[in-house]
Amino acid sequence: MGFYNTSGTLVTVAVDSIAISGLNAYLIPETGLQTFQLPLNPQATEVLITFYMGTQMHTLALTYQVETQVVSKDCGALAYLNDLQLTTTTFAQVTISNPRLTTNGGINVKIRME
């Protein structure tokens, strides 16, 4: 994910903490965020992410599909997360730029800050 301004440039945003549904703890960034990765549960198909930013709170709800592929009987199976879609948000604008989630696939979700 990444935070962008209205002209499409990455910006650093002060985020106090992040809550993710299914995770019984808050993620607390050490510095402001520009681009970041958040954990998703491959045994679920939806997530609600809450960003606490000073006196403001923003939410982002996403759905995704889980595709399991067997690599080999020795290595087992891998879970791939596909078809990422925005359900609801309180941010001004959110764009899904890549619906397939990978660790090195670039920015999947662009959050526009105004």
Read off the pLDDT of residues 78-106 as tens digits, 9 standing for 90 and up.
Answer: 778 899 999 999 999 999 999 998 777 78
Range of the domain at 6: 2-112
Instruction: Say how many domains are in the chain.
Output: 1
Q: Is the pLDDT assigned to residue 5 strictly greater than 80?
A: yes
Q: Is the pLDDT assigned to residue 47 strictly greater than 80?
A: yes
State residue 75's pLDDT score: 81
State residue 55's pLDDT score: 95
Contacts of 45 (CB under 8 A, 6+ apart): 63, 64, 65, 66
Q: Is the pLDDT assigned to residue 51 strictly greater than 90?
A: yes
State residue 27's pLDDT score: 95
